[in-house]
Amino acid sequence: MNQAVDFVAVSTSLLEALPTVKSSAGEKPADNDVTVDEEFRETLNADLGRQICTAIDSCLLQHLVNALFGDTLHTGISGRDELSNGEVEAIGAVCAFLHVTFSTLPLELVMTGLAYRTELVPVLWNFIKRCHENQRWPIFSKQTVHLPGDTPGWLLPLAVFCPVYKHMLMIVDNEEFYEQEKPLSLSDTRCLIIILKQALWQLLWTIPTHASSQKISSSLSSSHKKLSVESIQNRSRDVISKLLSQLQDWNNRRPFAPGIDFHSQEAMSETFVSQAILGNTRASEILKQAPFLVPFTSRVRIFTSMLAASKERYGPHRALPRNQFKIRRSRILEDAFNQLSMLSEEDLRGPIRVTFVNEFGVEEAGIDGGGIFKDFMENITQTAFDVQYGLFKETADHLLYPNPGSGLIHEQHLQFFHFLGSLLGKAMYEGILVDIPFATFFLSKFKRKHNYLHDLPSLDQELYRHLLFLKHYEGDVSELELYFVIVTNEYGEQREEELLPGGKEKRVTNDNVIQFIHLISNHRLNYQIRHQSSHFLRGFEQLIQKEWIEMFDEHEIQLLISGSLESMDIDDLCSNAHYSGGYHPDHHVIQMFWEVLKSFSLEYQKKFLKFVTGCSRGPLLGFKHLEPQFCIQRAAPLNASEEDLDRLPTSATCMNLLKLPPYKTKEQMQTKLMYAISADAGFDLS
């Protein structure tokens, strides 16, 4: 083993002197990738990159890792066992070498081999877990003599473990992760989340910022830049944050850990929230780099403050004549698209006033003080996102995503997507909740995230099962006569598309089947809807900045769009209700109403909320933030007849208004309310 350690040490020193080699895709080096001095760069041969990649290929890395780990480290040791000097030496040598390798070579060249043809992940995890349980981390003094003595012992192992484990998570399927508990058991994954969270918080908040680390690294010779504490810290911040975000996605898909496990205790304080709102603080930087460390309700408060600041920054707006529109209810989407799609970003921020025109061409009575626009938003979203219109499709779970064949139905389909994105952005900007349930893989596009195999079941469960069959096929895959092509069928138009250049001639084999599986997944989840998604996002980001929405994961973005699905707080609704027409909080009809509403099941409470507001979910921060505020109005004159008292209650969703007759008994009120909200939802109670 000593020879292997020495060989790795020499290789590490040589790699540090080499420039960063760009990936085959032409990616730019990451911010933390360090290249050689300008003078040295000018002398480099044009094919040096290819020479490096050929000399240090995936197989060499596999042999080196396996040689170091073979006799010294095991995956079965656990508990409070002390680490031997040999273990520390081997771990330090491998991690130093791989960190420099990751900073030099394209990751796609080495990751799959390290993940699946070595014991790197289980061995490193066993090491990390034991150090965590013993609350003692070793100092890798022999391998990293140029690092300060107070460098945390977890820094280098996590900088190497996280990107390799993250690569494994991109390839595993749901059955492997949840049922077979691979690559790690779910209990170990929960432990890993805690370790990563604590490490990331230290890197972002506790450990001195770049100024001090730059001072340390500036004293190092250029040959040690890739193994400087600054370089390792920068890479660790990035890879730990990305891995935690990916683990949160797995937890959202099927919970295996409490959501609070991802939150840092320190980020829950009022001081932290206040600093984050101010901006240009460490708190605001954490919000950008690792928003999952901050509880969701705190991020919603920060988001709401950002919206308010944006409105204040651009000043009060009057409804200009160019922002006043006449819309036919029977042609709401077409009229709105023709008139509103040309609005500038500045106009979108201001008030938009709508006058509806009925089927006889007569303008409907009423002055739009905001309520009619809310009614307009509810109606246009209901029309535009209806699958019958052809712009969107729905999954088996009735979740919406862009129709890949939308261009076959609407010639201006991309302009429609841009328009709908701006409408959704306007709704969020104004705090208007809309009942539009989006598929998670489409919500990922709001964050510019890529979807992978494990996201496919939400779109096409049958295709997912076929791909899993291929992934675990024990025979010769080439005998199945598959090629790198996919056949699409949109509205009877069948097309064969190559998954990569020359795909029609490239047969799927045991060696490339994983690549085939992920190209199929990529085509269905990303490629087919790329144009629709990008145009929708451009419209949305006219009002909702990218930095704001990136504070939230896909599940949370859906909550921002449609409100909370948690049980309704009727007491909160009551505390923020207004009354008119003679009603007041102590009126016997009002007291009877609240008793009846509390007696409803959660399902009927949500139907009631949709009946009066147009959305079945309440505002995320409570009904204090419902615009306009909920109001109950007496719906009968003071000398009401029996006929007046027998009417059903009605509502005006544009004003969040309930028109409630003064019923005499609880039973009568309950019956009338249930009939009214069921009829509105399309249910037959007869």
Q: Which tokens is 20 given?
A: 């960063």
- The catalytic position among 95, 131, 615, 654 is 654
Q: Is 131 a catalytic residue?
A: no
Alpha-carbon distance of 81 to 79, in angstroms, equals 6
Q: Where are the beta strands (DSSP E) in 539-666?
A: 578-580, 631-634, 650-652, 657-660
Classify burial at 87, counting beta carbons within 10 Å of its beta carbon; exposed 0-12, middle 13-18, buried 19 or more.
Answer: buried
| Structure token digits, residue 192 | 């890993």
Collapsing DSSP to helix, strand or coil, 633 comes out as strand
Helix (H), strand (E), coil (C) string for 400-444? EEECCCHHHCCCCHHHHHHHHHHHHHHHHHHCCCCCCCECHHHHH
Please tell me the distance from the alpha carbon of residue 396 to that of residue 419, in angstroms, as a whole number: 26
**In this structure, what are the phi and psi dihedrals at residue 405, rounded to the nearest 5 degrees?**
-100, 25
Are β-strands 493-498 and 485-490 bridged in parallel, bridged antiparallel, or unpaired?
antiparallel
Q: Judge whether 608 and 677 are in contact, CB under 8 Å.
A: yes
Query: Are the CB atoms for 220 and 204 separated by under 8 Å?
Result: no
Nearest CA among 111, 115, 74, 110 for reference residue 91: 74
Give the span between the Cα atoms of 634 and 644, in whole angstroms.
11
Alpha-carbon distance of 120 to 218, in angstroms, equals 32
| Beta-bridge partner residues of 400 | 394, 438
Rounded to a whole number of angstroms, the CA Rg of the chain reads 30
Q: Which residues make Cβ contacts (< 8 Å) with residue 552, sequence separation at least 6?
A: 291, 296, 299, 303, 560
Q: Which residue has the tokens 């900007």?
A: 429
Q: How far apart are CA 160 and CA 228, in angstroms?
A: 15
User: What residues act catalytically?
Assistant: 654
